[in-house]
Structure 1
Amino acid sequence: MIHRKLADSRDTRGHAPLNDPEARPHRRSFSLKTQIIIAFILYAICVSMIGWLVWKQITTNHQLSENARRVHESVQQWKPPRAEDAVRDARAYNQQLFAEGRTVLGEAVNPFDAQRERQAASIASKDSQYQDLLNMDSEGMLARLRVPSVSIDIPVYHGAAQSTLLRGAGHIYGTSLPVGGKNTHAVIAAHSGVVDASFFTRLHELKPGDLFIVQTMKEELAYQVTDIVKVLPDDSSHYGIAADEDRVTLMTCTPIGINTFRLLVSGERTAMPADSLEREDDGVSMIVISILGALIVAAIVARVWIRKRKGSP
Structure 2
Amino acid sequence: MASSARGQACPMGTLGDQCRCEPANPGTFKITCTCAKGRDLTISDRSTVGLSSTVVGFHIENCNSSVIVQSHSFDHLFNLERMSFRNIFNLVLESRSLDLENYNPKDFQLSIDTVLNLYLKEESVQLDGLEGSRMGTAVTIRNAFVVEMAPASIAGSLRKLSFENLIFGRLVQSGTVDVGSRGCEVSLTNCDVSNHGLESGWLSGHVTHLSLVNNSLTLLPDAFSGVTMVGSAPSFTLENNVLGEFRSKGGPSLPSGALHLNTSGAAVEAEAANNRLKCGCDDLAWLLEEPSTRFKWQVRSSLVCSNGTINEAIARCRPGGTTPSSATLTSLTFTLTLALLLVLRWVN
User: What band does the TM-score fall into relative to the shorter chain?
Assistant: under 0.3
Q: Give me the TM-score of the superposition, normalised by structure 1.
A: 0.26
Q: Which has the higher strand share?
A: 2
Q: Which has the larger radius of gyration?
A: 1
Higher RCO (C-alpha under 8 Å, 6+ residues apart): 1
